[in-house]
Amino acid sequence: MFFNKRYLHIILLLFFSLSSFAQDKFNLLEGKENYSLNFKMINNLIIIPIEVNGHELNFLLDTGVDNSLLLNLKLTDSLNLKNTEEIRLKGLGEGEYLEAIKSRNNRFKLGKIFNNNHMVYAIYSEELDLSSRLGIDINGIIGGDLFRDFIVEVNYSTKRIKFYDPDKYAYKKCKRCESFDLHFYNNKPFIYATVDIDKEIPVKLLIDSGGTDAIWLFDQSSIDITVPSNHFNDYLGRGLSGNVYGKRSKIKKISLGNYSIFDANVAYPDYSSIETAYKHKERNGSIGSEILKRFLIIYDYPNKKLTIKRPSKYFKDPFLYNMSGMEVIHNGSRLVGERQSALVKDGRGNDKQSTVQLVYNYIYALKPSYRIAELRKNSPAYETGLLKGDILLSINGNAAYNYKLQDIVYLLSSKEGKKIKLLVERNGRELLYEFKLKKLL
């Protein structure tokens, strides 16, 4: 009888171990209480490396999504996705449902963090191409799946992110800290804040680290939220289901506890672009990375808490926007010939006359290419005659391939009245255009 009980106990332990192993959960390696790593920050967004079934990929860290996404379906064969089924997904944007693959039991590894049984959605659409819009390969998006298993500290100043075991984390006294309750809807985090348009308005905002803007407000989501007369129509970004358009303006202030940020940019997305977001009746908009980057932030999903620890080095940065009216994206690579010169001496000895020749050689290399993807009507770029699809060859006399995409974005947002000269290629012809940046707000 004793033997049978012991045997049953062993079987139960084994069953419990197998069940735990099969759970879709991120864990720190045994003995680790925390793990930190550097991240890349591009257009205010956080990019981290994650191994998926043994292949290292770049993921956008996005609190605005619940499940993990793969965006390059060409990788699926090499990634050996497991237990797949075909589904359809719908997100922000003016498009329709997307075809996707749902896959379970995949191995995800982020340094000392692992999950051997992770579910991921692989998107078919080639239109959802974050790589071209950020100028770096982006293979996926990860958010709530990772945040809910840890306490996560994001330091934008040092570009480091740290994951803590929630059971072993201890909050320290902090005079400059502000803590807020996190409220979850469809497993996504929301926070209450105050915005000052013509008066102070309490708002419920999605915390969206994957959004490059400062704030989105939903027109008519509150009796006090309406689009101000001083605005302009613009392209706001790319959602899961297509492009998002809306209006841009300014707000006097956004307040997070005792912290206030003044003269922030605000966007009012068109209803047709974000119809699915309106299903959450209490939601008034989103707070994006242009605000989040101004603080050191502690996300505590397990205890439904968010803490602003202190301002970051970006706290006083001005709020910029694209004054050219054109959206530039990465357009793959093009073969470019660069001329190199060398002095060649021709002579048989010191006692004989020699000649020196200047010889030119061309070395060909693949360089980044950029094109205009969106063009705002009546903008400086539009009025000068530029068109969607134009490929940038040079910017203010410098070869376009010498710029990073971030540099181009900053240049087009930097200073009112700045002269921009663009040499573009259109249908095999080279055309020169010139305009000045114009402030609209």
The full DSSP string for 265-281 is EEEEE-GGGSGGGGGST
For residues 190 and 308, state if they share a domain.
Answer: yes
> How many whole angstroms separate alpha carbon 409 and alpha carbon 329?
9
For residues 43 and 102, state if they share a domain.
Answer: yes
Query: What is the DSSP-derived secondary structure letter of residue 252?
Result: E
CA 298 to chain centre: 19
Q: Is residue 349 part of a domain?
A: no
For residues 298 and 388, state if they share a domain.
Answer: no
Q: What are residue 250's phi and psi, to 5 degrees? A: -130, 150
Q: How many CB atoms lie within 10 A of CB 9?
A: 10
Rounded to two decimals, the pTM is 0.84
Q: Is residue 6 part of a domain?
A: no
> How confident is the model at residue 353, as a pLDDT?
60
Q: Is residue 3 part of a domain?
A: no
Q: Please check the confidence at residue 14 and state whether its pLDDT lies above 80.
A: no
> How confident is the model at residue 7, as a pLDDT?
37
Q: Is residue 441 part of a domain?
A: no
SS (H, E, C) 280-306: CCCCCEEEEHHHHCCEEEEEECCCCEE
In this predicted model, which residue has the larger pLDDT, 351 or 271? 271
116-130, 231-245, 260-274, 348-362: least confident range: 348-362
For residues 295 and 374, state if they share a domain.
Answer: no
Q: Is residue 347 part of a domain?
A: no
Distances (CA, A) of 309 to 150, 179, 212, 243, 292: 17, 8, 21, 35, 12
Q: Is residue 70 part of a domain?
A: yes
pLDDT tens per residue, range 26-45: 999 988 999 999 999 999 99
For residue 412, the domain's CATH number is 2.30.42.10
Sorted by sequence, the CB contacts under 8 Å of residue 324 that are 6+ apart come out as 379, 380, 381, 412, 420, 435, 437
For residues 230 and 164, state if they share a domain.
Answer: yes
Q: Closest Cα partner for 367 from 321, 412, 324, 398? A: 398
Mean pLDDT across 388-396: 95
For residues 77 and 180, state if they share a domain.
Answer: yes
For residues 303 and 389, state if they share a domain.
Answer: no
In this predicted model, which residue has the larger pLDDT, 241 or 402? 402
For residues 419 and 304, state if they share a domain.
Answer: no
Sign of the Cα pseudo-torsion (72, 74, 78, 82, in order) = positive
Q: Of 261, 294, 319, which closes a domain?
A: 319
For residues 142 and 258, state if they share a domain.
Answer: yes
For residues 157 and 296, state if they share a domain.
Answer: yes
The total number of structural domains that make up the chain: 2
Q: Judge whether 284 and 217 are in contact, CB under 8 Å.
A: yes
pLDDT tens per residue, range 155-172: 999 999 999 999 999 998
For residues 40 and 159, state if they share a domain.
Answer: yes
> How confident is the model at residue 368, as a pLDDT?
84
Q: Is residue 14 part of a domain?
A: no
Q: Is residue 275 part of a domain?
A: yes
> How confident is the model at residue 430, as a pLDDT?
95
Domain containing 423 equals 326-333+369-436
For residues 313 and 176, state if they share a domain.
Answer: yes
